[in-house]
Amino acid sequence: MQRMGPRTDTSTALGLLLAHCAREADGLVDDPADVAAVVAVERLSARLGTTQESVLRDALVAGEGLVPELLAIVESALERRTLGWSSDAGVVNPEAGSHPVTAQAALLRAAARAAHTTFAAVPYYRQRFGDRGARFAASDSSWLAGLAATAPAQAVRQVEWLAGVLVARGMPSWLMERHLEELAQQIRSVDVDPGSVPKAAAALRARRWPHADDAFLEQVEQTVATELVHAPTPRTGTLLAAAVGDVRSGLAREATSLMQWLSDPARTAPDDALVLWALHDELLPRPAGRQ
């Protein structure tokens, strides 16, 4: 990210993070540095598996693991505060651009926790997208949480658009469906109505189901487990089946991005790669005009 002005002292960012360790911010949070700090502390809390203020403070002071990344994000947000800029996704993740995120503290926390939970549950995310993927999970989730207050039809359209973008980057919409379900659960856990979030999840599920229902995902998972010597990632068959479902439903034109990663010689033996591509070709509908 291009620097926007004089670099903020790291101690200022640390002080703000320490001030938010109590996780007491409530209602609207319209200051970009506070938005960044709320999300950063919740990401740290989810990573450490605790909400205990003293533990969070000790981790921040120690400055290890995730902390340097969180400090850098809050420093960037402090610069935005100095410039009088409003909050957007770039406050949560400086690489994310300027699309809006929720301004409700409770929803920001729910979004950060949902992002961590779903990212950690599928090893493929970290294997392929690394720490950068975790940052985008947090910023995307902070945007999706704002859909709680959006009309259902509009929320579904926006989620289907984002799902289409992510599918092209190798993330089947089944992953988005799972994330939205987790996000709705996390929002309910802070006594907030998830509004259109579960409706958007249901819409993705309804689109997938006629082409790749849960039984189909499990069937392909078992086939891969039986026929491959070493799968490149846990749930390889489920990911492949979900990607096929996106092509069958018309959400995606092809599953090439995922398949190229799954069959890369750096992680998959040639014989296993051939099995995966043969399964892919068997499951996809034959293009019109081909015999």
**Separation in Å, CA 257 to CA 2, 168, 169, 286:** 29, 7, 6, 19
Backbone phi and psi for residue 142, each to the nearest 5 degrees, phi listed first: -65, -30
Judgement on whether residues 73 and 182 belong to the same structural domain of the protein:
yes
| 167: Cβ contacts below 8 Å, ≥ 6 apart | 173, 243, 246, 251, 252
Total number of residues shown for the chain = 291
* Cα 216–Cα 212–Cα 197 angle in degrees, nearest 5: 120
Least confident of 36-45, 79-88, 248-257: 79-88
What does the pLDDT read at residue 56? 98
What does the pLDDT read at residue 10? 76
Judgement on whether residues 181 and 46 belong to the same structural domain of the protein:
yes
What does the pLDDT read at residue 287? 52
Report how far residue 182's alpha carbon sits from residue 115's, in angstroms, rounded to the nearest whole number.
Answer: 8
Report how far residue 123's alpha carbon sits from residue 45's, in angstroms, rounded to the nearest whole number.
Answer: 20
pLDDT digits (tens, 9 = 90+) for 108-127: 999 999 999 999 999 999 99
Domain of 30, in residue numbers = 10-207
Q: Give this prediction's pTM.
A: 0.92
Judgement on whether residues 23 and 120 belong to the same structural domain of the protein:
yes
Number of domains in the chain: 2
Judgement on whether residues 202 and 224 belong to the same structural domain of the protein:
no
